[in-house]
């Protein structure tokens, strides 16, 4: 039998919680958002409108939201994990029935003046749900294949709904995020091998069933020069902008690819190219280093947490942020197909900002309540 300690009642010591906030981490986020403001100022032609001012306002609201979520007891968040997952699934179903269609895909819900992308919030809900499932697991239960069926279904349902939007990139990231939680929870490596072995054959089969624009993205990735004024235009211009920056860049507000409108989507998906063109290789590495510090900080929060739920949540949120960063930067460098993923806290966009700051709020709650122990399990020996 398994011995579970009962959850204690949540603490409401607000002053103590504020003092336990990782203010250095908050400072790192503010610095990154400041980089975003300066870059969006440049993307707007040297003006605060229409991008930079909105970015600053959204981040200010996001910081307040992050700190508010950080004050919520981690045990309360754990109790809301599966309801959040269910709510995310309902939102994904609503997207397919009444969502906003843009660029050939149905991915957004109109809520007042805000376009919400439920697939992004679903990733956070999935992290919470999987962490809630695995934090009670003993070694014997982890070795039981039947124990893994519910969390596998919990991953496959949102991945399938996201694929129907269609949104292949976000579906793949959601699946990888789920896999990361499985690995962190202690699922044996050979089970991952069994899942990964048929992927090349499935990918070959799936290619023939992709939408035309999805196949075009893959073909453009492999041969961007075959259509330099069409499908390959964005990535070619992105490479030109990054390469033209050299080591030290052309100087702030001096970029030509962005300011002469050669580069589409410069304020969202391709914003890193502005950094590379104006600040060069050195500036790009500095920004990547800042992003790396934020990811490392999230990992350290996970390591310092005394409960398994908090550790898995912190690792999942850090992994989600890493996937944002990796996919965006790899995309603009032409090393993976273009997938429409923003650079967090740098790119223009309200839905992405909301999702990222909610995630950091949950991460801050893990840090504030890092010494809380609940629902632990030990194996009978």
Average pLDDT over residues 186-202: 75
Burial class (CB in 10 A: 0-12, 13-18, 19+), 340: middle
- What digits encode the pLDDT tens for the residues 31-86? 999 999 999 999 988 899 889 999 999 999 999 999 999 999 999 999 999 999 99
pLDDT band at 115 (very low <50, low <70, confident <90, very high): confident
**380: pLDDT strictly greater than 50:** no
User: Where does the pLDDT of residue 212 fall: very low under 50, low under 70, confident under 90, or very high at 90 and above?
Assistant: low
113 has pLDDT over 70? no
Average confidence (pLDDT) over 293-301: 97
Question: What is the pLDDT averaged over residues 269-295?
Answer: 94
Over range 352-378, report the average pLDDT: 85
pLDDT-based confidence at residue 379 (cuts at 50, 70, 90): very low
The distance between the two most distant Cα atoms of the chain, rounded to a whole number of Å, is 70
Residue 206: pLDDT band by 50, 70, 90 thresholds? low
pLDDT value at residue 3:
38
**Model confidence at 381: pLDDT above 50:** no
Average pLDDT over residues 185-214: 71
Asked if 313 contacts 128 with a C-beta cutoff of 8 angstroms, the reply is yes
The pLDDT > 90 percentage for the chain reads: 49
Distance CA 130, CA 285 (A): 34
What is the predicted pLDDT for the residue at 227? 62
Question: pLDDT value at position 2?
Answer: 36
pTM strictly above 0.85? yes
Q: List pLDDT tens digits, range 318-351.
A: 999 999 999 999 988 888 887 778 899 999 887 8
- The pLDDT value given to residue 7: 46
Q: Which helix (H) or strand (E) holds 262?
A: none
What's the confidence (pLDDT) of residue 139?
76
DSSP characters for 277-346? HHHHHHHHHHHHHHHHHHHHHHHHHHHH-SSHHHHHHHHHHHHHHHHHHHHHHHHHTTSS-------TTT
Higher pLDDT, 283 or 136: 283
Average pLDDT for the chain: 84
CA distances (Å), 331 to each of 217, 222, 232, 277, 309, in order? 11, 12, 13, 16, 33
């Amino acid at each position: 039998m398994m011995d579970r300690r009962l959850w204690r009642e949540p603490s409401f010591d607000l002053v103590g919680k504020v003092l336990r906030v990782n203010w250095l981490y908050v400072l790192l986020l503010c610095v990154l958002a400041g980089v975003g403001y300066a870059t969006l100022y440049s993307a707007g032609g040297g003006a605060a409108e229409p991008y930079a001012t909105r970015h600053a306002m959204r981040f200010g609201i996001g910081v307040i939201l992050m700190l508010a979520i950080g004050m919520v007891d981690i045990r309360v968040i754990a109790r809301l994990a599966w309801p959040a997952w269910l709510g995310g699934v309902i939102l994904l179903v609503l997207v397919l029935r009444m969502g906003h269609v843009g660029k050939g895909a149905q991915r957004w819900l109109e809520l007042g003046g805000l376009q919400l992308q439920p697939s992004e919030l679903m990733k956070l809900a999935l992290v919470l749900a999987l962490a809630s499932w695995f934090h009670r697991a003993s070694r014997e239960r982890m070795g039981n294949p039947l124990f893994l069926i519910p969390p596998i279904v919990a991953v496959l349902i949102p991945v399938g709904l996201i694929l129907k939007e269609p949104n292949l990139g976000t579906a793949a990231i959601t699946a990888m995020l789920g896999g990361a939680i499985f690995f962190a929870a202690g699922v044996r490596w050979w089970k991952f091998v069994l899942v990964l072995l048929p992927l090349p054959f499935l990918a070959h089969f799936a290619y023939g069933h992709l939408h035309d624009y999805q196949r075009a993205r893959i073909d453009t990735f492999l041969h961007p020069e075959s259509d330099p004024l069409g499908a390959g235009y964005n990535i070619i211009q992105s490479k030109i902008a990054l390469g033209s920056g050299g080591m030290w860049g052309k100087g702030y507000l001096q970029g030509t690819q962005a300011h002469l409108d050669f580069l589409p989507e410069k304020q969202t998906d391709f914003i890193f190219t502005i950094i590379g063109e104006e600040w060069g290789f050195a500036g790009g590495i500095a920004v990547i280093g800042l992003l790396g510090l934020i990811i490392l900080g999230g990992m350290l929060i996970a390591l310092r947490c005394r409960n398994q739920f908090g550790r898995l949540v912190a690792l999942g949120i850090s992994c989600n942020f890493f996937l944002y960063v990796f996919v965006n930067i790899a995309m603009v460098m032409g090393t993976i197909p273009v997938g429409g993923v923003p650079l967090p806290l740098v790119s223009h966009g309200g839905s992405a900002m909301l999702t990222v700051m909610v995630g950091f709020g949950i991460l801050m709650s893990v840090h504030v309540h890092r010494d809380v122990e609940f629902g632990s399990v030990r194996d009978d020996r």
